[in-house]
Amino acid sequence: MAAHRVIIMASLLFCLAGTCYGKVLFSSLKKTLDVTASPKHGQVVEAGLDAITVTWALNKTLPAGTDSSYKTIKVKLCYAPISQQDRAWRKTEDELSRDKTCQHKIVAKPYDASNKTVHTFEWLIERDVPEATYFVRAYALDSNDVQVGYGQTSDAKKTSNLFKIQAITGRHLSLDTCSACLSAFSVVSLIFFFYIEKRKKH
């Protein structure tokens, strides 16, 4: 009987630990950060070429002490619903440890509770970012790196302030021009040598 009680208590403690540190639900977080991103709604920017300016700040209407547990701000690039359709690897889950909405890190900065100004970061879009429609979200993390607050550039349904990132195709005009010139040169050379060989035979 004693052993059975120990097992039950251990299971309860394990579940409690999982609830505290592993199973944070997005729906349980308060929107405490004001976040903006430079692209306008519907704008197309290019990976590897364009930069995005992101800003974040604590919402000034919140009561004092709201940010008392904040230690880090992590800003991420997130897929809009239109770019999640039929893509399970981008699926939104309420449990943040399983959520695949925001896979691309923009920046992580220590949080200074005494500095209430707007923070700004310019991010050059990385070359390997997939082509899709996005928005930006910032999470406030505590000392255990657990999400305790958030803010995002879009609305709750993630339909406003969306922008598209165009992926690098791997082809450039100069390369295409060189390729065309080499192909033409090869054809001309082949015709020339064929003509020379034909004259030798005669």
Domains of the chain: 24-171 (2.60.40.1930)
Question: Which among 157, 135, 118 has a CA at the least distance from the CA of 45?
Answer: 135
Q: Across the strands, what pairs with 72?
A: 110, 141
pLDDT (0 to 100) of residue 169: 73
pLDDT (0 to 100) of residue 171: 47
pLDDT (0 to 100) of residue 168: 85
pLDDT (0 to 100) of residue 18: 46
How buried is 34 (Cβ within 10 angstroms: 0-12 exposed, 13-18 middle, 19+ buried)? middle
Low-confidence spans in the chain with pLDDT less than 50: 1-20, 171-176, 178, 181
Q: What is the Cα–Cα distance from 95 to 83, expressed in whole angstroms? A: 20
pLDDT (0 to 100) of residue 88: 96
Strands (E), the chain: 33-37, 44-46, 51-58, 72-79, 104-110, 119-124, 132-141, 147-152, 163-166
Q: Is the CB of residue 70 less than 8 Å from the CB of residue 113?
A: yes
pLDDT (0 to 100) of residue 172: 46
Number of neighbours of residue 9 by Cβ within 10 angstroms: 10
- Amino acid at position 79, single letter: Y
Tell me the CB-side half-sphere exposure of residue 8, using CA atoms within 13 A: 5
Contacts of 118 (CB under 8 A, 6+ apart): 55, 56, 57
Q: What is the Cα–Cα distance from 80 to 38, expressed in whole angstroms? A: 16
And the tokens for 53?
């300016």
And the tokens for 27?
């729906």
Q: Is the CB of residue 142 less than 8 Å from the CB of residue 148?
A: yes
pTM: 0.75
Q: What is the Cα–Cα distance from 99 to 89, expressed in whole angstroms? A: 9
